[in-house]
Structures are given as C-alpha cells and as structure tokens.
Amino acid sequence: MTNIKNRIDELTKILNDANYNYYVLANSIITDQEYDKYLRELEELEEKYPEYSFEDSPTKRVGGEVIDSFKKVYHEKPMLSLSDVFSESEVISFDERIKKEGINPQYVCELKIDGLSVSLLYKEGILVRAATRGDGVVGEDITHNAKTIKSIPLSLKEKIDIEVRGEIFMSKETLEKLNRERIKNNEKPLQNTRNAAAGSIRQLDSKIAAKRSLDSYIYHLPNPEDYGIKTHMEALDFMKNLGFKTNPNNRLVNNINEVLEFISEKTDTRDKLPYDIDGIVIKVNSFEYQNKLGFTAKYPKWATAYKFPAEEVLTKLRDIIFTVGRTGQITPNAVLDPVIVMGSTISRATLHNEDYVIEKDLHIGDIVSIRKAGDVIPEVVEVKKDRRTGLEKKFVMIDKCPICNSKLVKKGDQVDYYCINDHCPSRKIEGLIHFASRDAMNIDGLGDKIVEDFFNFGFIKEVSDIYLLQSHREDLTRLEGYGDKKITNLIEAIEKSKENSLEKLLFGLGISHVGSKTAKILASNYHNMDNLINASFDSLNSIRDIGDIIAESVVDYFKDERNINIINKLKSFGLNMEYLGKKIIQNSFFSGKTFVLTGSLILYSREKGKEIIESLGGKTSESVSKKTDYVIVGDNPGKKYEKALELGINILTEREFQEKIENN
Ligand code: IVH
C-alpha cells in the first residue's frame, strides 16, 4: 500500500510541477502525451484509493464540482478599488499630493488587467478558498471554479497561511476561440474578455469554468507585515517565489517621469499583449509610505489607475430610426455603418430624444465619431461637419408611432414623446421583455428575440401567457432555431421564476414609477400582493421614500380591472405572491440592542453596517444616550465617542464588530 501512496504522491508532484512550469513560467518540461498518461494513471489510482489522494491533486483541476449557490465570504481586509485618472496632468497631480505629505516615493507600475479581482486564501500552503470582490466587504465563494485555473497554485512552495489578491482574466485568443464555437452553436458571441471571464467564474458547474481556460495574475499582498515584507516589489517577488503568476511587465521606477514613460510605452504596445488591459496601475512601493498615506472611504491614497482614453472611431450615420419603449416612450436611434470600437461591433447608438439630435445637429448621411468607454453604452460624440457633401438629409421628428401609427403625445413639458396606445404591439413586447429581465422575474432564455417571436406567433400576448408556454411545447420545438433542449431549459426557468420574491414580480409588472428599488420597499412593507392591492394612497404615502407620484401610480394600477385579472391568473398558475426578503434573525448578539456607528469605518460603509445590524435584529441610532448598548468606533471618532466614554457605554472596534457578525 505504501507503494501506491508513494506513487500517488510522485504523480501529484510531477503533474503539479509540469503544470506550474507550463502555465506560470511558460516552459514545457514534459510532453502533452506524458502529461495525459500520468494524469490518467493518477485518476485511476485515486478512484481506487481515494484515501490517498492529496488536497492539491491536479485531478481537481478538471472541474466536476457543482454547487447550488454561491456562499458569501467576508473579506477580512476590504477589497478596495482604485481611483481613476485620465490624463498625464492628473498623474502628475497624484504625485504632487503624495509629495505634499513629505514623501518622495519610488513607484511600481503595473498593467491594469481587464478581468475580475479575486482573493485567494491558503492554509498551510493549500488553497482553501477563492472569493470574488463583491461589494468589497462581502464577496462570493468561487473556490470550485478557481481550482480549474491552471496558473492558480493548488499548493504553494511553502506551507504557510496567506491571502493574496489578483486578477482572473481570459486571453484574447481564448475569447476568439470561444466565440467561434458559440457562433457555430447559434449562440450570441461574448462582447469582451472581461464579461467572458466574469461569466465563466459565475458558473455553478466548474466543468464550464474549466473549459474556458482562464488565467491569473497576482498583484496584491494584503498583510505583508506578517511576512516581514517592506515594499510592494518585494511582495511581488515573494508571491512569485511561492508559485504565483506575477506579471513580468511590473516595473519599479524612481519618479513620476519614469511612470509617464511606462504609460506611454504601454499605450503604444497594448494591442500586442495577449490579454486586454484598460490602463496602468501606479502604486507607492514602500509599505511604510503606503501606511502613512492611508485610505479615503473608497480608495487607497497610495495608488491610482491611469485609464486609457476611450477609443473614438469615425463611421457613417445611415439612418435614424425610432423605437418604442415599454412605457411608450419614443427613442431615436442612430443606425451606423458597423465599426469595431474597443473590441465590439457597434451598429446602433441611442440618440436619447429629439432635443439631443437637434443639439448635435445630426443629419442622415453625416460622418460621426463614436465612442465607447469600457462597459458604457456607445455614444455619438460629434458630427464631422467638414466631411459634409451637401447630400445629407435633415432630421425630422416623427409624430405617429412607428409601430401602431397612433398619434404621439408629449407629457407636460418633458422632451420625450410617447405612444399612449395600450395595445401598441411594440409596447407590449417591451413590457414582456421587461417582465422576463434579470432584475424582474429573471427568466433565463426569454430574451428580446424570443419574446418578439413568441409574441408574433401569438404564443404570448400578456405576461400570464408565459406560464402557459409549456402547453405549446410541441409547437415551440418545431419552430426554426428552438430545439428541444432550448425549450426544456426555458420551461424550467419559467417554472423556477414562480418562486421569486414579491418585489421581482412587482418590478416585472411594470407599474409606472416603480423601479426595482421601489418594488423592494413596497414588498417589504406590505409583505404580500393582497395587502398591496388593498393599500390606500395615504398608507402608501406614509412610507419613507414613497411620495405622491408613486403612491398614486400604485393605486391607479390596482384599480384597473385588467391588471387585477392578470394578477389573479398569475396566482392561479402558482406564482409566489409573498415577500421572501431577509427574515430578521432572532437571538443573535445584536437582537434587541441599539447601536451607534461613529468615525470613519473602513470595512463597512455606514449604510452597510446599519443594514447588517438590522438584518441581525438590532437597532441603530444616530445619537448616543443611556439607551445605547454599543458604540462602534472607526477612525477619528468625534463627540459621539467621547459621550460614550462619559456614559460608560460599551465600545466595539470595527474589527470586533466584524467578529460579532461572523460569529452569528
Ligand atoms: S491593485 C488596493 N493592480 O482594477 C489595491 N488592481 O479599480 C487594489 N486591476 O478591483 C487593486 N489590474 O480588479 C491592482 N495590477 C493591478 C490590477 C488591478 C487590474 C483591477 C482590480 C481592481 C480594479 C481597481
């Protein structure tokens, strides 16, 4: 038996080493065939003798682990993001602000990888947890997927406890391959490497993440003092020596001029990199200086991100067409000769409203410049008037709905025109799309095109018809482009949506002025649909954040018989009509106690802190009195802290507060 154990040990080491050489150092030490042969041997042995398999076995990398949902993870030190600067002069001001503190630092310049940040936690050298950033304080556990990323070590070269942070990303080549595959399968290509990486990491089934060949660069050590490390550059080396992949482009420089040189060099060569970057990160090298500079509420003051300017591209404005939104609002849209901007093809851009088009003086046939920055939707920046030939056509606003031909109206002194025909097909389709959308009923697979098709085929006329789709199953699978699998998944997603909490349904119904936030306020106040249907104007209006306009709109909506009919149908199909939001936890440390927060908190924003206390059954107050049970104290606390000391009220540091939360 010990022979078998030794062989498993040996194979694990050989394969991990080969993996490290290949994926971290870009160096092959064994052939693919050898690798596969050893891996198969190891798999077979592990299957027979699972008791001998190691935590860091490379067989764990192929994926297979499927989770039900993402567990929440608290970050001991919050995962902050960086302040942005957009020009050379802003980079210089960043340096000047630091110099004002009496510091003349060396900087480390790094590429700002366009992926998503990750925290990796190792215990005795073994990867035990990987988490996304989330809101910086609470992220999601993605260990099952992180293990499939070959450049993330499953075990380190030293058996130490450590947390490191970095970026998970997808290379340009992997995205191209993936998109070729998707197009072949009639799926929509993914827009960019960041979305593709984020989508892969958010899979419950790690086999999918494994197939996506994600990669990583590690760039941050949150607790360098634990290892006696004094500078960021040393931290990068330290992490590299533990087996992490660090970026060879990282550069230590002596002054801001050298930072500017790095920026200009990388601006010129970024297209040649195998992965996307959206800027340059500049970090003060010395940790002593970093500590001296500290943080603002959101960002470290010792680092910043220079963002590359948004790319502008010229193209022709072919036409201006009009779309009708769910509320009947008419939007002019630019139809453009397709151009690639920042990696995605743009052929449409919103022109918002008539005034916008007039202000930009757009004529059909004009050459216009288009800009797209990161995730931001594309916009028309300006017309190149010097390129006009005289053949361009003046823009004329329409006065009839382009879909149902009914007369458009302006509401009050608003700039927008509306189609007010409740039966306008375009409004109905948009309303259905809205109902199925992510923040509403979140019915995966019921996107724009399919809704439009199903509406036109007569399968769905109103939202309740969505829940009857299963009875058309046969007909649906016969339609071109809607195979059995697609329809099965869709019907499953529709079934699942029945369990949604009330606020999702309320938002989905598309009541005027009820956005997703208001829907949540209504759901949490009235608990179920019937209470809300019977709520009076005064009752609604008495809720904080619900003013006259919303209250009136809600009352009007439920007065309309047609709406009640739809709700009754939805009820009969088994849709949940209750608010399932956070149940207040009884019997926690916080239950029944009153807390005051003071000083600047780093781990939690004030709002977040209060929300957590309330969700755990506590109360919060703005002022300290004898009734206060605890005062939670951040940096530079003021009068409230003094008063608490005076009254002998219990004090919690932010760290102690965090412990209490975690122990609940
Ligand atoms: S340092 C406290 N370094 O950019 C330091 N971030 O807006 C935190 N990013 O959330 C980040 N490359 O996802 C750092 N070399 C790099 C980076 C980098 C990409 C991302 C990261 C972060 C965001 C900051």
Please write down the HEC assignment for all residues of 605-627. CHHHHHHHHHHCCCEECCCCCCC
Residue 335 counted as domain residue: yes
* Domain count within the chain: 6
Give the β-pairing of 72-74 and 330-341.
Answer: unpaired
Q: What is the model's pLDDT at position 638?
A: 80
How many whole angstroms from 108 Cα to the centroid of ligand 1?
13
Is the domain of 368 the same as that of 259?
no
Is the domain of 46 the same as that of 101?
no
How many whole angstroms from 13 Cα to the centroid of ligand 1?
32
Sequence-distant (6+) residues with CB within 8 A of 134 are 72, 73, 75, 79, 140
Residue 192 counted as domain residue: yes
Question: 629-638 burial, b for 16+ CB within 10 Å, e for fewer?
Answer: bbbbbbeebe
Residue 69 counted as domain residue: no
**Radius of gyration of the chain from its Cα atoms, rounded to whole angstroms:** 29
Does the pLDDT of residue 374 top 60, yes or no?
A: no
Q: What is the CATH number of the domain that holds 644?
A: 3.40.50.10190
Q: At 375, is the pLDDT very low, low, confident or very high (cuts 50, 70, 90)? A: low
Q: Which residues line ligand 1 (CB under 6 A)?
A: 80-82, 110, 112-113, 117, 133, 167, 219-220, 281, 300, 303, 305
Tokens coding 494: 């529709």
Q: What is the model's pLDDT at position 585?
A: 61
Ligand 1 atom with least separation from CA of 250 = 15
Does the pLDDT of residue 318 top 80, yes or no?
A: yes
Tokens coding 259: 């930072």
Closest of 566, 587, 589, 83 to residue 301, by C-alpha: 83
Is the domain of 126 the same as that of 248?
yes
Is the domain of 334 the same as that of 446?
no
The more confidently predicted of residues 374 and 612 is 612
How many whole angstroms from 115 Cα to the centroid of ligand 1?
9
Q: At 581, is the pLDDT very low, low, confident or very high (cuts 50, 70, 90)? A: confident
In order, the DSSP letters of 273-341 are SSS-EEEEEEEESBHHHHHHH-B-SSSBTTEEEEEPPPEEEEEEEEEEEEEE-TT-BEEEEEEEEEEEE
How many whole angstroms from 168 Cα to the centroid of ligand 1?
11
Q: What is the model's pLDDT at position 584?
A: 52
In order, the DSSP letters of 424-461 are -HHHHHHHHHHHHSTTTT--TT--HHHHHHHHHHTS-S
Q: What is the model's pLDDT at position 605?
A: 75
Question: Ligand 1, atom 6: nearest CA belongs to which residue?
Answer: 112
Is the domain of 287 the same as that of 172?
yes
Q: What is the model's pLDDT at position 609?
A: 85
Q: What is the model's pLDDT at position 156?
A: 97
Q: Which residues are part of the catalytic machinery? A: 112
Does the pLDDT of residue 558 top 60, yes or no?
A: yes
Does the pLDDT of residue 570 top 70, yes or no?
A: yes
Is the domain of 492 the same as that of 509?
no
Is the domain of 461 the same as that of 340?
no
How many whole angstroms from 304 Cα to the centroid of ligand 1?
9
- Tell me the residue range of the domain where 484 lies: 425-497
Q: What is the model's pLDDT at position 577?
A: 97
**pLDDT tens-digit series, residues 43-100:** 999 999 999 999 899 998 887 778 888 888 889 888 989 999 989 999 999 999 999 9
Does the pLDDT of residue 326 top 80, yes or no?
A: yes
Q: What is the CATH number of the domain that holds 448?
A: 1.10.150.20
Does the pLDDT of residue 2 top 80, yes or no?
A: no
Residue 303 counted as domain residue: no
Question: Of 449, 476, 497, which closes a domain?
Answer: 497
Is the domain of 132 the same as that of 268?
yes
Does the pLDDT of residue 573 top 80, yes or no?
A: yes
Residue 448 counted as domain residue: yes
- Ligand 1 pocket test target in 75, 77, 116, 117 with most atoms within 8 Å of CB: 117
Lookup result for tokens 């398999």 = 53
How many whole angstroms from 346 Cα to the centroid of ligand 1?
28
How many whole angstroms from 80 Cα to the centroid of ligand 1?
8
Mean pLDDT across the chain? 92
Residue 451 counted as domain residue: yes
Q: What is the model's pLDDT at position 376?
A: 64
Q: What is the CATH number of the domain that holds 326?
A: 2.40.50.140
**pLDDT tens-digit series, residues 519-549:** 998 998 898 999 999 999 999 998 877 899 9
Question: Ligand 1, atom 9: nearest CA belongs to which residue?
Answer: 112
How many whole angstroms from 82 Cα to the centroid of ligand 1?
7
Does the pLDDT of residue 110 top 80, yes or no?
A: yes
Ligand 1 atom with least separation from CA of 84 = 7
CA separation (Å) from 186 to 189, 461, 482? 9, 26, 10
Residue 341 counted as domain residue: yes
Tokens coding 6: 């030794």
Question: Ligand 1, atom 16: nearest CA belongs to which residue?
Answer: 112
Does the pLDDT of residue 1 top 80, yes or no?
A: no
Q: What is the model's pLDDT at position 611?
A: 82
Question: Ligand 1, atom 11: nearest CA belongs to which residue?
Answer: 81
Question: Ligand 1, atom 13: nearest CA belongs to which residue?
Answer: 117
- Ligand 1 pocket test target in 110, 112, 119, 168 with most atoms within 8 Å of CB: 112
Ligand 1 atom with least separation from CA of 133 = 10
CA 581 from centroid of its chain's CA atoms: 21
Ligand 1 atom with least separation from CA of 114 = 19
- Ligand 1 pocket test target in 219, 251, 602, 603 with most atoms within 8 Å of CB: 219
Cα angle at 42 between 41 and 48, to 5 degrees? 95
Q: What is the model's pLDDT at position 639?
A: 86
Residue 79 counted as domain residue: no
Is the domain of 318 the same as that of 257?
no
Q: Helices 516-526 and 502-509, interaxial angle, to 10°?
A: 130
Instruction: For the chain, give the longest Cα–Cα distance.
Output: 88
DSSP state of 349: E
Q: What is the model's pLDDT at position 62?
A: 81
Is the domain of 485 the same as that of 523?
no
Closest of 427, 425, 239 to residue 327, by C-alpha: 427
Question: Of 236, 261, 293, which closes a domain?
Answer: 293
Q: What is the model's pLDDT at position 144?
A: 94
Question: Of 497, 518, 553, which closes a domain?
Answer: 497
**pLDDT tens-digit series, residues 249-299:** 999 999 999 999 999 999 999 999 999 999 999 999 999 999 999 988 779
Does the pLDDT of residue 105 top 60, yes or no?
A: yes
Is the domain of 209 the same as that of 263?
yes
Does the pLDDT of residue 11 top 90, yes or no?
A: yes
Question: Ligand 1, atom 17: nearest CA belongs to which residue?
Answer: 112
Question: 304-319 burial, b for 16+ CB within 10 Å, e for fewer?
Answer: bbbbbebeebebebee
**pLDDT tens-digit series, residues 605-623:** 777 788 888 877 788 888 8
- Ligand 1 pocket test target in 75, 81, 251 with most atoms within 8 Å of CB: 81
Closest of 136, 210, 124 to residue 174, by C-alpha: 210
In order, the DSSP letters of 484-508 are HHHHHHHHHHHHHHTT--HHHHHHH
CB 511 within 8 A of CB 535: no
Which of 227-241, 366-380, 523-537 shows the lowest per-residue confidence on average (mean pLDDT)?
A: 366-380
The more confidently predicted of residues 539 and 413 is 539
Is the domain of 286 the same as that of 321?
no
CA separation (Å) from 279 to 88, 276, 286? 12, 9, 22
> Identity (one letter) of the amino acid at 219?
Y
CA separation (Å) from 105 to 102, 251, 260, 292? 10, 14, 15, 12
